[in-house]
Amino acid sequence: MRDSEFEFIRNLVYERSRINLGPEKRELVTARLGKRLRATRLSSIGDYCRLLRAPDAEQELNDLIDVISTNHTFFFREPAHFDFLRQHVIPEIRARQRDRDRHLTVWSAACASGEEPYSIAITLADNLPDVPWKVVAHDISFHALEKARVAIYPEDSVAQLPAQLVRTHFQRGYGPEAGNVRVRPEIRERVTFLQQNLLDADAQMPEPVQVIFCRNLMIYFDRPTQTELVARLTRHLLPGGYLFVGHAESLTHIDHALKSVQAAVYRRAA
């Protein structure tokens, strides 16, 4: 990949998604673009750049963002966050005096292929059976969301989970689906998936929520974008609500209005 081609791709991805592809990402970008070259049957990255410049390239631009954005995740990733949800957030919801305040909405703001919002929903189903709750999930990737909505995963993806949890919340596949599991309908129907870029000016955010999971997303952004994202998330967090970020992330070096509660957990003032 020529320097000019990398700069074109880098600037285009930043413009469309605000993902910041530094020079150290050049090999990764080259590898990811190989998938699009095969899909479009083009022989060079130069040809692919010309395709992206075409007036009717909107779908390919979406496919480019899909292939560049990292969607690696797994069920109950960073389990301390789910412990916090069980041990602190859910008891607070239960302790509310008025019935109309005893509900919980959790926003999975970068949900990838669905393992995170389903892990949240399973935690709520197991620990908050008598209080209304729902999970709203967003991601920029069309393909990741298609997988999330179908909710079919390799059986290996739940191999490390407690056997009782798997029996309760997953269906094992048979015939052509042997070797796969599917999240049960009573969990799937409590999760709403929507495609959008959180940083778009016209992004349709959910109503203010009590909990936001936005984990392992800020690491792909530059400092100004991180600051903008946290400000947007904070505006959609109810007073006293919690923001969970990835354990590899920190709000230390950006301006924000949240208080650190524990590692990678922040709270808006009540």
Same domain, 220 and 181: yes
Amino acid type, 102: R
Q: Are 77 and 106 in contact (CB under 8 A)?
A: no
Q: How much of the chain, in percent, has pLDDT values that exceed 90?
A: 76
Residues 36 and 131 in one domain: no
Instruction: Show Cβ contacts of residue 23 under 8 Å, excluding neighbours closer than 6 positions.
Output: none
Catalytic residue annotation: 32, 139
For residue 130, what pLDDT is reported? 87
Q: Domain for residue 264, yes or no?
A: yes
Taking residues 123-141, report their average pLDDT.
94
Residue 241 DSSP SS3: strand
CATH code assigned at 212: 3.40.50.150
CA distances from 202 to 143, 196, 198, 213 (A): 22, 10, 9, 21
Centre a 10 Å sphere on the Cβ of residue 43 and count the other Cβ atoms it contains. 9
Is the residue at 206 inside a domain? yes
CB 198 within 8 A of CB 108: no
Instruction: Give the range of the structural domain holding residue 230, as residue numbers without chain letter.
Output: 79-268
Residue 99 above 90 pLDDT?
Answer: no
CA gap 117, 135 in Å, rounded: 7
Q: How confident is the model at residue 97 (pLDDT cuts 50, 70, 90)?
A: low
Where do we find the tokens 């690491």? 219
* Amino acid 199: pLDDT: 87
Claim to verify: residue 247 and residue 204 sit in the same structural domain = yes
- Residue 159, pLDDT score: 93
Q: Report whether pLDDT(66) > 90.
A: no
Q: In this predicted model, what pLDDT tens digit does every residue of 7-53 receive, in sequence order?
A: 999 999 999 888 999 898 899 899 999 999 999 999 999 999 999 99
Which of 24, 39, 68 marks a domain boundary? 68
**Same domain, residue pair 125 and 199:** yes
Please list, in sequence order, all residues whose beta carbon lies within 8 angstroms of the beta carbon of residue 209, skipping any fewer than 6 positions away: 105, 106, 107, 136, 236, 237, 238, 241
97 and 224 inside one domain: yes
Which of 23, 49, 68 terminates a domain? The answer is 68
Please report, for residues 4, 7, 64, 269, the alpha-carbon distance to residue 42 in angstroms, rounded to integers and kept in the order given: 18, 19, 14, 53
Residue 199 burial by Cβ neighbours in a 10 Å radius (0-12, 13-18, 19+)? middle
For 204-234, write each residue's pLDDT tens digit: 777 899 999 999 999 889 999 999 999 999 9
Answer yes or no: is 223 within a domain.
yes
- Cβ–Cβ under 8 Å, residues 6 and 29: yes
CA distance 15 to 166: 41
Q: Are residues 44 and 92 in the same domain?
A: no
The pTM assigned to this predicted structure is: 0.89
Query: Are residues 202 and 232 in contact, defined by beta-carbon separation less than 8 angstroms?
Result: no
Cα(207)–Cα(3) distance, integer angstroms: 44
CATH number for the domain that contains residue 9: 1.10.155.10
Q: Does 155 fall in a domain?
A: yes
| pLDDT tens-digit readout, 138-193 | 999 988 999 999 999 999 999 999 999 999 999 999 999 999 999 999 999 999 99
Write down which residue in 43, 68, 93 finishes a domain: 68
Residue-averaged pLDDT of the chain? 92
CA distance 147 to 164: 24
Identify the pLDDT of residue 206.
Answer: 78
Q: Is residue 73 part of a domain?
A: no
Q: Give the chain's largest Cα–Cα span.
A: 65
Phi and psi (nearest 5°) for 18?
Answer: 70, 10
Q: Tell me what pLDDT residue 100 has.
A: 66
42 and 119 housed in the same domain: no
Total of domains in the chain = 2
Q: Are residues 102 and 32 in the same domain?
A: no
Q: Which helix (H) or strand (E) holds 133?
A: strand 133-139
Instruction: Note whether 232 and 205 are same-domain residues.
Output: yes
242 strand-pairing partners: 211, 267
Residue 16: inside a domain: yes
Same domain, 200 and 254: yes
Q: What is the pLDDT of residue 87?
A: 96
Whether residue 54 is found in the same domain as residue 90: no
Do 43 and 146 sit in the same domain of this protein? no
Given a contact cutoff of 8 angstroms between Cβ atoms, the answer to whether 216 and 246 are in contact is: yes
Query: Is 74 contained in some domain?
Result: no
